[in-house]
Amino acid sequence: MGRFEPYGGYKKDFAVHAGPAHSPWDRATFAEEIRGDVDRIMGITLAEETGGRPVSGAWSYWFESDDLSVRLVVADPEGDGPLDRAPAYVVPVSRSGDVETWQLAERLYDGLDALGRYLLIALEDGGMPVASNFDIGDDW
């Protein structure tokens, strides 16, 4: 049984939040880095959503196929809480009868964690933390 499986189920989504572990926040640099890593881990190519990169606000990338969809959003931190340390998020959704969404989320989380470059928090769609590679506290 995978760590994410107990939180899975019909129409249950996960968001894997990420931020830089060892470098200062720079949205442009971070967006390109995580976009490339998500592409490699998931075996996809994320495209920018229409409208391109705005001067302010979140940058958004998307991939969609018959088997899965993946959305990456890179926003600037707004405070100093755990999600501000991991302000980008990736939402993988399975459309396959063979692979569950929790499996995609766990593969993505583990792949990003193995790189050692990211602070990560995985949340199930109700906001409950599933995994984190840094101390996020108990105030959820």
Query: Does the residue 119 lie in any domain?
Result: yes
pLDDT confidence bin for 48, thresholds 50/70/90: confident
Task: Retrieve residue 120's tokens.
Answer: 């990560």
Name the residue among 54, 55, 137, 127 with its Cα closest to residue 89: 127
pLDDT of 21 over the 60 cut: yes
**Cα 91 to Cα 82: distance, rounded to the nearest angstrom:** 18
pLDDT confidence bin for 7, thresholds 50/70/90: confident
∠ CA 78-82-86, nearest 5°, is: 70
pLDDT of 72 over the 90 cut: yes
Region 60-71: mean pLDDT is 95
pLDDT of 104 over the 70 cut: yes
Query: Does the residue 140 lie in any domain?
Result: no
Query: Does the residue 114 lie in any domain?
Result: yes
pLDDT at 50: 63
What is the span of the domain harbouring residue 11?
5-132
At position 70, the amino acid (one-letter code) is V
CATH code where residue 25 lies: 3.30.310
Number of domains the chain contains: 1
Task: Retrieve residue 80's tokens.
Answer: 């100093």
Residue ranges of E strands in 21-140 = 47-48, 59-64, 68-74, 88-94, 118-124, 129-132
